[in-house]
Structure 1
Amino acid sequence: MPPRKKKTRIFLYLKVFVPVIAITLIAAVGYTAYAVNAITKSNRSLLSIKDFPKKLPDNWGKVVSFTWKEVQISGASGALNGWVFIRGAGLPGIIITHGLGNSRADMMDLGYRLWERGYNVLVYDLRAHGESTNLVTTLGASEKKDLAAAVEFFKTFRIPSPKGGEVQLIDPNKIGLYGVNVGAYASLMVGGENDSVKAVVADMPYDSVREFAHLRARELFGLDNFITNGLLDIGLQINQGGIYDTGSVRSQAANYQSKGKSVAVIIAENTSKNLQKAAMEVMLALGPSVCERIDIPKSRNIPLAGKDADLYNERVCSFFAQRGFPVTPLPDAASPPAAPPAGTPPAAGKEADGKGTGQ
């Protein structure tokens, strides 16, 4: 072939393929940036303390004085705002971690029901949710470290003693964790690593941050293949500064099995088949000696109220009472407690430092 024709053909190839490659690269970068932004956006809903009566259970009880304290936890993500519901010194403690797009306010009724059963409860806002700092979620990577900090905070939290001085609020060897999706992953990871944690309830958990990112991409964009997932992995690795791959729940199975911990995995009908499959795989990885399955109509990935909330809360409370830390029921728990006056803020009793509603 004459040199001139060969050069002409090469030029034509370059003229066609270079623009195609450039367009492909631009599309890949554009998809990656868009997907990372969409998947890590929390859709924060800022709720002030005045809004919380809308989230309270119908029977806001007065069985005993409801004592609470607003707190700030110093976590890996900065300041995490929360409440401690104080039931009594030396009793077990349960930490509630909400899910993606929610806030501690959405967990108020569950926290109250656990408090009513005789537990001290810590409920807090995840990073980029509620009143906590940061702008994006890391789908469990930083949230796992934040929950570990919350466990240490709760273990050392002290209240005034009737005899003077202060006493430790919770039994540091009787801590339970509860979480939804991101909170469920964080709870299972911390539960496996921390010997103080004896029981975990995980609502629609997943095995790893990577898996959840791929599930989110499938739900948001309908994409689930090695190319788009690979681009997403690269984007999240860059976006999260190298903390993207933070371990799997599977890797904690031996800790749960050898240390006699108890887990309940909630499988909800109102979630996608892919999310249900991910939760069931977590349950199977932990093994039947550790993990039991709770089937329920609706997950706490959406706010629940009325009968849905009552059914859900009862299943969670029963698990902690039977497999976690049995506690003495309140004297007249069988009688329905009185409802509060309209507009009563969450401190129907008193804040622990004696300042009333905490507003």
Structure 2
Amino acid sequence: MHPLFTLEGRKDPHPIYKRLRAEEPAVQILEPYRKVPFWLLTRYTDCSDMLRDPRFGKDFTKLPPEERNRLRMSGEFEVLGKHMLSADPPDHSRLRSLVAKAFTPQIVEGLRGRISTIAENLVSDAVARDASGMDLVSQFSYPLPVTVIAELLGVPASDQDDFRRWTTTLFTPADTDEQLAHLRATGFEFFQYFMALIERRRAEPRDDLVSGLVAAEEGGDRLSTQELVGMLFLLLVAGHETTVNLITNGMLALMDHPEERERLVADPSLLESAVEEMLRYCGPVETTTYRFALEDVEIGGVTIRKNELVLASLLSADRDESRFPDADRFDVGRKPNKHIAFGYGIHFCLGAPLARLEAVIAVETLLRRLPRMKLAVPRGDLEPSSMLLLLHAKKRLPVQF
């Protein structure tokens, strides 16, 4: 098993990536759960080049059937995967244009007051429940973005626990037939939930994103039911899971670097810059989702053959010493800071402005309301939330006030 998939590798992959950038910047690895080989790119230039290269595709229906079966691209997973993140142009362009209207700068800025209220209430609730401390993940980092995206989509806040259970399952490796069956059952639950929600909004439209997507039209096109389900799945998962990790990792970085925390408290004008550094230094997404070569492509000193899978490590690229001076130093005032934590090219994260706003408000609220917050457990006891490479996340973050 490659060191990246070990417990130590999941806890802290940065030393492994540092070695790979120096010795094997493009390396083929066997994914241990589905026994699928893939190429991993770790240098900034190679990652950004691949992400904007049209010779790498994301529409897995273009793969031979046997390759799709190896990746378990069937059934509920195929339905949930019918969204813009798994599409190539021109489908990608059509799907993205239909959703982009919901994430304009004006709409995102209009959410500022509501996000601030949610953040303040979460801190107040945590202190009222236990004046000594809390688990930052379950009591703040998770409920903040999931409440925002749920309200934006128009789904009940009472369903948040189901979302957390579903997404946790879907990001857990399935090694056995029993685990795979559980994974499929969870995917089917997700599918049924969104199908019922779509039908309710078709019958009784509301002022929410689900109703907007049901009615959305661009150049005479509408989203099919399958595309609607896939898009809602993507928006819900991407709309909260990554921001959970951004807030958690960012606050952990501030606790790891008290001098930078003091610098930020003394100069709140650095908040936006600090969030950009959190994205670079300890970003919420470790790797992109899979792409595959549409033809033989030379990149990173290797030839990636047609239909072979490839991942770009955003986490590694953003610590590339050739791109960022003193790359392993956490600097809340770093300028310039052209990280690729939100991806690059046509699949650049559509929700980046919302994630940035949520993180700025979250960090400001926590520093102001809980100025003496510190880790409540030894740093080495913090567990990764998943053994998969996709997310850079902690399962829990116990803190003392």
After TM superposition, is the score higher than 0.5?
Answer: no
Q: TM-score, length-normalised on structure 1?
A: 0.24
Which one scores higher on RCO, CA 8 angstroms, separation ≥ 6?
A: 2
